Amino acid sequence: MRCLTHPKARRRRRRHPAWRDWAAKCATSASPRLGYQDTVVFHPTTAQPQTRLPAPPPTPTPSGTETETWPIVVVVVIVPARLFPARFDAQQFKCPPKDGQYEDSIQCDKYYECYDGRATERLCPDGLVFDPTIRKINKCDQPFNVDCGDRVELQQPRSNSLCPRRNGFFAHPDPAVCNVFYNCIEGEANEITCTAGLHFDEYSGTCVWPNDAGRQGCNPGANKQLKDGFTCPKEQKTDEAGQTVAHPKFAHPTDCQRFYVCLNGVEPRDLGCQAGEVYNEETERCDAPENVPGCEDWYKDSDEKKH
């Protein structure tokens, strides 16, 4: 089946993982194709008109009504075969003279390895697609780096709660949270937060300005609380000169090694000092444990903290 390009992806050369699910649905949908219309073809004839046989007389019915007989009209619908790309398997795929890896005609994450004229069917890891232009052995890459063209079909996704596919960059499942996304590697989700003021763009796989991302329903107040419950104080923090601190820092209440930073005073970040140091709230820097009251013995009784 051939589907048109995702409407939002037309403004960019590269496509994001979001188009994958759309493409898969498009490939399996029973709905009519966009821009496609069945054609009724009438073939002219040079034959002489024939005398039409009279229809049999109407048969009277018990109620006194008459039943008429109508001629049957057959409409032939011709669908051009070129609209349906040929589907191959390893036995049908014809290898070029040169050994190498070659893309499938309709499935973007499937390819063939050709050796001595024999083809072996391969699949990219779930979430990645095949790029025939890459000059290296591993030609599977992120979808936003590859122009699949008409190769819109994909393998069945192997998803979990945070990873629609096992590999790739995916938006937060809550559409109101636009500044957080997940880097999924073999089904393991790694949460990443964009720099303050930026939104995750699912078509480029990067953080961009909100106007460039064009996402709807983003809540500026979403994701203002960390997993441990910390939120940035509403009161602005000032320095000794009375100037407002742009990115104030705060000590962790129970962990001497950790501290918080509020970007622009509103976006909380959980950070930590390197091993062997603790956060000094007075200097707002990482320091030796003996210089921070209450944290002198932080590393002495825990081998785990030392490493």
State pLDDT tens for residues 222-277: 667 788 889 888 888 888 888 888 889 999 999 999 999 988 787 888 999 999 99
147: left (phi over 0), alpha (psi -120 to 50) or beta: beta
Domain boundaries in the chain?
A: 7-28+82-145, 158-223, 225-307
Asked if the domains 7-28+82-145 and 158-223 are classified in one and the same CATH topology, the answer is yes
Give the 3-state secondary structure of 155-221: CCCCCCCCCCCCCEEEECCCCCCCCEEEEEECCEEEEEECCCCCEEECCCCEEECHHHHCCCCCCCC
The CATH number for 7-28+82-145, chosen from 2.170.140, 1.10.3470, 2.60.40, 3.30.70, is 2.170.140
Using the CB atoms, write b or e for 246-266: b if 16+ within 10 Å.
eebbbbbeebbbbbbebbebe
Superfamily covering domain 158-223:
Chitin binding domain (2.170.140.10)
User: Scanning the structure block, which residue is given the tokens 């649905």?
Assistant: 25
283 falls in which pLDDT band (50, 70, 90)? very high
Residues contacting 105, CB < 8 A, separation 6+: 85, 86, 87, 88, 151
Q: Are 256 and 278 in contact (CB under 8 A)?
A: yes
Q: Are 10 and 198 in contact (CB under 8 A)?
A: no
State pLDDT tens for residues 36-71: 333 333 344 444 444 343 444 555 544 444 445 555
User: Scanning the structure block, which residue is given the tokens 């064009």?
Assistant: 214
Q: Are 140 and 172 in contact (CB under 8 A)?
A: no
